[in-house]
Amino acid sequence: MNTPHRRFDHTGLEILSEVECHKLLGSVPVGRLVFTQSALPAVRLVNFIVDDKTIVFPAPDGDKYRAAERGDVVGFEVDEIDLDRHLGWTVTAVGHLSVVESDEKADLQHILTLRPWTAQRDHHLIRLGIESLEGRRLVPWAERPYGDILRDGTR
């Protein structure tokens, strides 16, 4: 039985394929949007859905909405951690934000199960076009490499 080569980074974390990253991205309901606010980094929790190669989330008027109006490049991170067993994964997407136009917003709201978590009645839908997607996994101790990581990341 052939098993695909697993790739690890220099710290011993497994490097996830883009397919695995996309699957994990859609497996959790909340992520962290990383953007610039007044020339400083800002991180906000958002509930979201994955729509093909984009991430869509609701936002009221404010910093996230203004970032989308400008088409800012942002980061988006999701993860799952098992603190007791020291296992987990993280996936990071990078891309440009945009505001979903009104006609498409109406269509999306009928198809997607995305609802804002805040009390704001008027909200916008924001789209992050995924241009880069990468992830890492902390695997069980018995599966971790011990100095046998090759330069190309395989073992």
Task: Say which CATH number the domain at 66 has.
Answer: 2.30.110.10
Is residue 65 in some structural domain?
A: yes
SS3 110: helix
Task: Say how far apart CA 90 and CA 81 lie, in whole Å.
Answer: 8
pTM of the model: 0.84
**Structural domains counted in the chain:** 1
CB burial readout 104-128, b (16+ within 10 A) else e: eeeebeeeeebebeeeeeebbbbbb
Q: How many CB atoms lie within 10 A of CB 4?
A: 7
Is residue 44 in some structural domain?
A: yes
Is residue 56 in some structural domain?
A: yes
Task: State which residues form the domain around 90.
Answer: 29-143
Is residue 24 in some structural domain?
A: no
DSSP state of 114: -
Task: Say how far apart CA 55 and CA 130 lie, in whole Å.
Answer: 7
Is residue 1 in some structural domain?
A: no
Tens-digit pLDDT profile for residues 60-100: 889 999 999 999 999 999 999 999 998 999 999 999 999 99
Is residue 47 in some structural domain?
A: yes
| Structure confidence at residue 117 (pLDDT) | 61
Is residue 133 in some structural domain?
A: yes
pLDDT band at 31 (very low <50, low <70, confident <90, very high): very high
Cβ-contact 6, 22 below 8 angstroms? no
